[in-house]
Structures are given as C-alpha cells and as structure tokens.
Structure 1
Amino acid sequence: MTGGEAWLRGSTAVVGVAESDLGRVGPGLTALDLIAQATAGALDDAGLEKADIDGLFCHSAFFQNPPLAVAQYLGIRPRYSDSSALGGSSFVAYLRHATAAINAGMCEVALIAYGSTQLSSSGGLVRSGAAMLKSYELPFGPRLPVTAYALAAARHMHQFGTTREQLAEIAVAARKWAQLNPRAYERQDLTVADVLASRMVSTPLTIRDCCLVTDGGGAVIVTSAERARSLRKAPVFILGAAEAQWHNDIFQMPELTTTAAVESGARAFEIAGLRPADVDVAQLYDAFTVNTLLFLEDLGFCGKGEGGSFVERGALAPGGRLAVNTSGGGLSYCHPGMFGVFLIIEAVRQLRGECGDRQVGDCHVGLVHGSGGMLSSQVTAVLGDGSTL
C-alpha cells in the first residue's frame, strides 16, 4: 500500500448523510442553520444522538473560525476538530482525516459539515481583487474562478481537438440525472444546442458549462467499521483515499490539461485494491464541464486527450457507459459555493440503493473526487458496500 496506508482500507465507514434545505432558502436562514438541519438529518439517518459526536470536520469561506462557530451553534464539545482549507475538496479530504483520527483514538464519531447561503446572500461569482492575495494574474482582469477553468478548456481543445459540443454533452448528461432527482435545482430539458447557444461567460465556457449558484448544506457522519455495523443503515466503507496538490494560482499550474488527480486517484485506487474498471458510480466535482473531462482522464477512466470522445453520445447520462454525477452534480443539482460534501452524500445513497428513479443497478463501488481552488487541490476517495471487504 502507498505510504503505509493499509490501515485506511475498510477501517471506517460512513453511517449517516443528509442535506439541508437547498436551492434558494430565502432570508432568515444562515449557513449555520443549514448545517444544523443537515446534521440533524444525518444523525437520524445513522441512528445516533448529537452527544455521540466527538470529532468535527468543517470549512467555510463564509464565516470565521468554522469549527468554533459550528460547535457552538450545534451545542457540541468535540475533542478533535479539523478545518483544513482545501476549497471544495476539503470535505472529501475529511474522509481521510477522520479515518486517521478515529484510528488514532482521537475521536469515535466524526461529523463532516458544510453550509452556505451563497445565493440568498449574494448570488455572485468570486472575483479576483484587492481582498485576495496579490497575484500576477490581477493586471489581466480575470473573472475568477471561471477564467481559470476556461484556460484549461481552451488548452484541451487546442491540444487534443476537444470540441464545445463534447463539453456540452457533460452538462446535458448532468441535467438528465437531475431530472430524476426531485431535489435538483435545475430540471428543465437541456440540449447540446442549448448549451452552445447560452450566454458566453469566459471563452469557451458558456453559462451552462458553469455550476449553479445555490444555497445549501450537507452533513456526513463517519465512525469505526466496528461501531458502524451496529447502527441503523448498512455502512458504506472507506476503502481508499488520497490527496495531491501542485499549485494554487492557475498561472502556476504545471500543465493545464493534467491535474494532480493523476496522483490522488492512483494512490486511492492502490489503497483500495481496485481499478477504475471496478467503479460502478463516479461523483466528480463538476464546477465546470471541463472538470469532469479532465478528471475522467486523470483518474484513469480514459486516456489523456480521449475525454471528449469518451463523453459523446450520452455516455455519462442514465443508461450510458459510466454513471457520473447521478444527483445532477454541481451543474444541475446544487452548488452552494463548495460541493465536496454533496459528492459523498450521493455516493453513499447510491451504494445503499436509496436513489429511486436514478438508482444505478448492481452498485457496490463508488468513487468520489473533489477539487479545490483553480484545479488545485485534488482529493480522491473510493467507497464500497459490505461486499467489497
């Protein structure tokens, strides 16, 4: 096993998941309110009480001192806290961090939580400016984060002949899954032509190549495999997880068409003792359509430069060759500033067989991949039901 991490495989499990209110929650609710809603739902899902939580893993760009604020609001007194700030990938990383803490005896029941009222509070994109770290990018007036991802998309198109139509296929597939999810924010019909004809945001990405801006919160509860087997729902075991990062600013990215997911994915699969071909459902952080394309390549589902042809003809949609972002993803389901926790929630529900019309048949292995910053932090986790141990 890579890095002596054999201990990770199957030693912990996700035992509870839930979302809060999603979409536009309106005035009167805060990010902490949404975290509380989701936490209550996840505890009920697991059959646990609030007093059982002794580990807290949370991150926010919308309020200060996240572990302190969340613990105070929930009325809990964790003996271990972690607020590692890796952007939207943080919550996938917390699966690994929580496993390490549980194995070390630092906590027994870990809560991973997130909440944001980004839509109700502002609804705008983050823009590079004086409040951010000084960057060599600033004189060019980028509209971050979308400009960074547009650079990667444009380079992939130039280098490999990828087309806007192929990128649009990713948005259309996400929408088809969303149409099977009653909690998805966008469920109207969407075609490749619609994506291409929508407003250009940063060439070559249109508004339909970009994730939603919504409100929402999510919670995930992790505990030891031993304790998990005595709880309400069938446990979903953490089989492998790994992190990798190569840069922060997009101008420091070594190669615009290859992300550090090539490292995190390879290590996670090695720890799990599995391969991409073993994956039944993949939840990939789709802040933009190009994310999905890059991660399919870098995680080994297809070769570098083959992502465009891989996604054609509804390959990622219901009934396609690979079930990807079955909730509708950040492109159609929800995206309240950070999306990582929702990737975990959907993967767990799929592995439990709880997804109704969008349920993937014979589903035993799920991959969750989070991305943070400007294609910066890459975190991969492989999850499995009891048959995978």
Structure 2
Amino acid sequence: MGRWDSIRIVGAYEHPGRELPDKSLAQIHTEVALGALADAGLTLDDVDGYFCGNDAPGNGWISMADYMGLRNLRYMDSTETGGSAPIYHVAHALAAIAAGDCRVALVTLAGKSRTGEQSGGGGLTVPEDGFEDRMAGWNGPVGNYALAAKRHMHEFGTTSAQLAEVKVAASIHASFNPNAFLKKRVTVDDVLNSPMLADPLHRDDCCVVTDGGGAIVVTTAEIARDLGLGRRAVRVLGHGEAGKIVNGGKVDLTYSSAIWSGARAFEQAGLTPQDIDYASIYDSFTFTVIQMLEDLGFCERGQGGRFVLEGALVAPFGRLPVNTDGGGLANNHPGGRGGVTKLIEAVRQLRGEANEGVQLHDAGLALVHGNGGFLGTRMRSATMILGREDA
C-alpha cells in the first residue's frame, strides 16, 4: 500500500477568464471553488478542509470561509510558498485526510494581476531587501531569473534560441486552448526579436499577466467511488518539498531546490523521470523550464537547452510534452502564481480531458512541479507525481 492509496483528486477547475475587472478576488475564489466542487459532484456543505495562500483577500482562509459559507470546516491551512503553494496545499490536504482530520478538502487560488487588485497577504519587509533591491538595483523576479539564465549560459553554453524553444512549444499548445490569453503561435525569431527586459530574457521569455484562478478537490477513495462520476479519479503517488537559501552569499545559481523536491517525489513514488508521460513544469520564464528539466532529472545538468530542441516539449509526440494548456507563458498565470494551473492540466491529461490536439494517447503518469521565490537563490519547490487510478 502506498502512502496515499486511499485518497483521490476528484475535482479540478480553471476559471475561463483572463481579464476580470468586474470581479473581486473573493468572487474568483468562490467561482473556482464552485467549479471544482461541481466537477467532483460535491457542494460547499461537503467541504470540511480548506486550503489557500496569501492570494486570498482579507484575513485569508477565515475571510474566504465566511464569504463562501464554509460552515463545516474541521481543518484549515494557509501555508504560503508563492507559486508552489497550491501543490503544497494538495500534499497537506492528503496528510490531513490520511490522519482523519477532514474528508473533503478544497484548495483555491485566485489573482487579479491584470486588472489591478492585489492579494490580501504579503507585503513584509525582509533583511535582504535593502541590499538586493535598492543597493544592487535588482529589478525583482525578471532580474533574478535573468541572472540565473546568464550564469547557465556562461557555464554550459545555453543559448537564447534554446530558451525561445520553450515559448514556441507553449504557443503551439495555447493555440488549441480556447481560453488561453495568447493564442498566436510564435517562432524562435519572434521571441528573439521581442524587446529585451533583462539580458538574456526578452519579453516573450516571460509569463503572461492575467486575472483568474483555479481549484482542486481531494477526498477519500471511498467517497470518490460513491460519487459515481463515471470517469478516472487521480492518485497522488509521490510528493517532495524543499527550499534553497543563499547561504550568506555562497550560492550556486545553476540549480534550484527542485533537485531535492523532485528526488523525494520520485523516491516516494518508486518511479524515475523516464516513467513520466506528461509534465506540468512551472514556467514563469522560459529559462525556468530549462532549469527544472535538469533539476528534476529529465536530462543531465547543463543539457536543458539541448533537451528542448526539435519539438521535444510539444504534445502529443514530443519526448516529454510539457504544459499542454499553454502554461504561464501563453495561457494563464493568475496573480503571478502558476501552481494550481499546473495541477489542473495534469489532472486533465490523466483523465483524457485535455484540449483536442494536445491530449496524449495514453497518459498514465504525470509530474507537477511548482516553485516560489527566486530561481537559483532563495526559493521553495514542490514536486508531485500523479497517476491515473487504473494506471
């Protein structure tokens, strides 16, 4: 028996909107919650475990529980790890259900980055701010990721054209997605000719800025069977969490904490990267995917740029189809947090419900990876291995 053999992911829903000026954050959280619960054949009254991060407005889960009328809660979690938070939340929901602390867990994420409303949490000052942001002139995530990408190029010969291949694959996938923010296919030259934001990252190497959100519902296998949904549920086979710090400035920019979270997830699942059919990999920037492919073990260190060539990431026939919804680079990145959409698309692939044109023939095993913070320096990673119930 595996650690979570008695637990299933039964609901998944992504908000179709990408620009939602007339909706509040609380409304978006509620709409995705209702969507995922309807997908699972459940209601708000069935939920006794609720999970959200700092993207929730007001007082986080307390405000949202009140807004949605979650009257039966026995377990609540507001772990905050940035873009990886929803993957942490699903893992923590599994542990809570396994411990008997709740039976139906709801995970929500929402954001309004595009139309201006910010989340309720965050905004804390940390000791390094004055040195990195003000003294060094560091322009936030773009500058940090550009720094890591530039070092990777120096160490391993990675090129801007190789980074661009990641965006090309995302744009191909997004062209099949009616809800994608960017549906136009692009070429390597298109990416390279887009404005430079922070060398070597061009505008088209960066994720989209969108409103929206998504939700996941987790419950026991017994409840899943009783729901009689007539489709495959999804199992969690392995999970790993890890963090990386700068260690007083003694930091190597050419790897992330995914080297630990991925290894732990594979060990727990009893699988290897070669077993994976589909991967949802956080793609805040094109370089993020290249770094994660290496750190998660899909290729050797320094070989990520070469791995993505010749359509390797393109569904349905690439060697490792990645982000078949278009990912954060072309589809959706609500509130600057892409973890929940990574989970949702992996569930779709395993159910056989991905968009026509990108659905894999027989997807039985999927990897989901999210990261929060700054690539190469201080960050948090979460990796999850999912399997079809009949796989």
Q: For residue 261 of structure 1, what is the amino acid of its counterpart?
A: A
Q: What's 2:172 paired with? A: 176
Q: For residue 328 of structure 1, what is the amino acid of its counterpart?
A: G
Residues 148 and 250 in structure 1, CA contact (< 8 A), matched pair in contact too: no
Q: Distance in 2 between matches of 1:99 and 1:271?
A: 14
Residues 170 and 292 in structure 1, CA contact (< 8 A), matched pair in contact too: yes
| 1:70-85 mapped onto 2 (5 Å cutoff) | 70-77=64-71, 78-85=73-80
Q: For residue 57 of structure 2, what is the amino acid of its counterpart?
A: F
Q: What's 2:91 paired with? A: 96
Q: What's 1:291 paired with? A: 288
Distance 1:326 1:20, change over 3 A: same
Q: Distance in 2 between matches of 1:61 and 1:302?
A: 34
Distance 1:103 1:122, change over 3 A: closer
Whether 2:20 is the aligned partner of 1:25: answer yes
TM-score normalized with structure 2 length: 0.92
Distance 1:366 1:250, change over 3 A: farther
Identity among equivalent positions (%) equals: 46
Q: Distance in 2 between matches of 1:152 and 1:302?
A: 18
Q: Distance in 1 between matches of 2:300 and 2:331?
A: 28
Q: What's 1:133 paired with? A: 126
Q: For residue 195 of structure 1, what is the amino acid of its counterpart?
A: V
Distance 1:252 1:29, change over 3 A: farther
Distance 1:50 1:91, change over 3 A: same
My pick for the range that moved more, 204-213 or 54-63, is: 54-63
Q: Distance in 2 between matches of 1:260 and 1:114?
A: 23
2:244 is matched with which residue: 243, 246, 263? Answer: 246
Q: What's 1:378 paired with? A: 381
1:335 is matched with which residue: 321, 333, 336? Answer: 333
| 1:350-365 mapped onto 2 (5 Å cutoff) | 350-357=349-356, 358-365=358-365
CA RMSD of aligned residues (A): 1.7
Q: What's 1:126 paired with? A: none
Offset at residue 10 of structure 1 (A):
2.5
Q: Distance in 2 between matches of 1:230 and 1:385?
A: 18
Q: What's 1:323 paired with? A: 321
My pick for the range that moved more, 74-83 or 252-261, is: 252-261
Q: Distance in 2 between matches of 1:151 and 1:251?
A: 18
Q: For residue 142 of structure 2, what is the amino acid of its counterpart?
A: V
Structure 1, unaligned stretches of length 5 or more? 1-5, 124-129
Aligned residues: 375
> What are the superposed Cα offsets for residues 70-112 of structure 1, whole Å, 9 maximum, x if unpaired?
1111110311110111111010111210011001111110000
Offset at residue 131 of structure 1 (A):
6.2
> What are the superposed Cα offsets for residues 337-374 of structure 1, whole Å, 9 maximum, x if unpaired?
21101111100011000113121111010100010011
Q: Distance in 2 between matches of 1:251 and 1:45?
A: 47
Q: Distance in 1 between matches of 2:35 and 2:325?
A: 18
Offset at residue 65 of structure 1 (A):
2.2
Residues 8 and 99 in structure 1, CA contact (< 8 A), matched pair in contact too: no
Q: Distance in 2 between matches of 1:152 and 1:227?
A: 45
Distance 1:111 1:62, change over 3 A: closer
1:279 is matched with which residue: 273, 276, 280? Answer: 276
Residues 30 and 116 in structure 1, CA contact (< 8 A), matched pair in contact too: no
> What are the superposed Cα offsets for residues 116-139 of structure 1, whole Å, 9 maximum, x if unpaired?
11101169xxxxxx9632422021
| 1:109-124 mapped onto 2 (5 Å cutoff) | 109-121=104-116
Offset at residue 321 of structure 1 (A):
1.3
Offset at residue 234 of structure 1 (A):
2.1
1:160 is matched with which residue: 145, 156, 171? Answer: 156
Q: What's 2:59 paired with? A: 65
Q: For residue 159 of structure 1, what is the amino acid of its counterpart?
A: E
Q: Distance in 2 between matches of 1:366 and 1:280?
A: 6
Q: After the TM superposition, which parts of structure 1 deviate over 4 Å for at least 4 consecutive aligned residues?
A: 249-253
Q: What's 2:81 paired with? A: 86
Offset at residue 61 of structure 1 (A):
4.0
Distance 1:95 1:61, change over 3 A: closer
Offset at residue 13 of structure 1 (A):
1.3
Residues 95 and 241 in structure 1, CA contact (< 8 A), matched pair in contact too: no
Residues 246 and 253 in structure 1, CA contact (< 8 A), matched pair in contact too: no
Residues 246 and 254 in structure 1, CA contact (< 8 A), matched pair in contact too: no
Q: Distance in 1 between matches of 2:174 and 2:302?
A: 27
My pick for the range that moved more, 348-357 or 58-67, is: 58-67
TM-score normalized with structure 1 length: 0.93
1:224 is matched with which residue: 209, 220, 223? Answer: 220
Q: Distance in 2 between matches of 1:384 and 1:32?
A: 32
Distance 1:250 1:16, change over 3 A: farther
Q: For residue 91 of structure 1, what is the amino acid of its counterpart?
A: P
Q: For residue 132 of structure 1, what is the amino acid of its counterpart?
A: T
Q: What's 1:52 paired with? A: 46
